[in-house]
Amino acid sequence: MDAIITADQLASAAAGDGPPTLLDIRWQHGRPSGRPEYEAGHLPGAVYVDLDTELAGAPGETGRHPLPDIAAFGAAMRRAGVSRDREVVVYDGGLGWAAARAWWLLRWTGHPAVRVLDGGLAAWTRGGGSLTKEIPPVAEGDFVPEPGARPILLDADGAAALARRGLLLDARAGERYRGEVEPIDRVAGHIPGAVSAPTSENAAEDGRFHPAAVLSRRFAELGATADTEVGVYCGSGVSAAQQVLALAVAGIPAALYIGSWSEWTADEKRPVATGPQPG
């Protein structure tokens, strides 16, 4: 199954027999919950899921958005109506970061059919799709998460090892990678051996992903080939999920270091590189 779905494809699927479960994952770093935006207008039938409380654990030494408690995550997904035998489509406000986080978690915990709405809410409305303020009734789902499926999860040691033997991509902005600024985390710079690959280069101005062939060329230029083992990190494992999704669109499997830079820098003993080169 494709990792993304267009607005037109979603409209057709939603109107057919057995429509997908829709999850609204609107979120932005440093801002309150996206629920008010959801309540002001969302795709018909969509259920709001909060990234900070339902798709992540409490911040701490394992990062700003560590893995959620798996049992709590499963309960949240069932409350949202997620069932194993029904496709799930997730969307956000357009960047694709939050939706990709939900996509990654559901795929990693074994859901067989999850796609991200390409371009998010903006793509839906631009294509003539309607919004509603109606909060839909939700039938309890039956999804039970079983961690360990693909895509792969990395810890700090795994990310460091992958940077040496394969390709570890840093999905943050270039100036954060180079160590010129660090607006959020304790230390500026990057994991030694990691290659800069900002998520902003994965999508067009309208928020939709570049075509698979374009993404394939981009990642090939960064060193990703059919034989390369690839991993991705960011600040806290959210925007990196969008990069893993972009790699999936390009046909390249990739692992996610979910603790990312916020976990890496929590331990003062871990090395830090700066400058434009992997180091």
Shared-domain flag, residues 182 and 249: yes
Q: Is 113 inside a domain boundary? A: yes
Q: Is 87 inside a domain boundary? A: yes
Shared-domain flag, residues 73 and 121: yes
Tell which of 126, 141, 167 closes a domain: 126
Shared-domain flag, residues 180 and 117: no
Whether the CB-CB separation of 120 and 37 falls below 8 Å is answered with no
**CA–CA dist 219, 169 (Å, integer):** 10
CATH number, domain of 102, equals: 3.40.250.10
Shared-domain flag, residues 110 and 158: no
Domain count, the chain: 2
Q: Is 202 inside a domain boundary? A: yes
Shared-domain flag, residues 255 and 166: yes
**CA–CA dist 170, 162 (Å, integer):** 12
Q: Is 140 inside a domain boundary? A: no
Q: Is 66 inside a domain boundary? A: yes
Shared-domain flag, residues 51 and 92: yes
Q: Is 116 helix (H, G, I), strand (E, B) or coil?
A: strand
The count of other CB atoms within 10 Å of the CB of residue 61 is 10
Q: Is 148 inside a domain boundary? A: no
Whether the CB-CB separation of 233 and 194 falls below 8 Å is answered with yes
Q: Is 88 inside a domain boundary? A: yes
**CA–CA dist 43, 32 (Å, integer):** 21
Give the catalytic positions in this structure. 234
Shared-domain flag, residues 90 and 164: no
Residues 57-77 have pLDDT tens digits of: 999 999 999 999 999 999 999
Residue 236's contacts (CB-CB under 8 Å, 6 or more residues apart) are 63, 64, 65, 259, 260, 261, 262
Shared-domain flag, residues 48 and 120: yes
Spans in the chain with pLDDT lower than 50:
none
- Among 14, 169, 3, residue whose Cα is nearest residue 96: 3
Write down the pLDDT at residue 30: 73
Query: Which domain, by its residues, includes 43?
Result: 4-126
Shared-domain flag, residues 84 and 26: yes
Write down the pLDDT at residue 194: 98
Beta bridge partners, 47, equal 23
Determine the length of the chain. Answer: 279
Shared-domain flag, residues 76 and 181: no
Write down the pLDDT at residue 4: 98
Shared-domain flag, residues 23 and 111: yes
Residues 82-105 have pLDDT tens digits of: 999 999 999 999 889 999 999 999
Q: Is 90 inside a domain boundary? A: yes
Tell which of 109, 126, 143 closes a domain: 126
**CA–CA dist 276, 111 (Å, integer):** 38
Shared-domain flag, residues 174 and 110: no
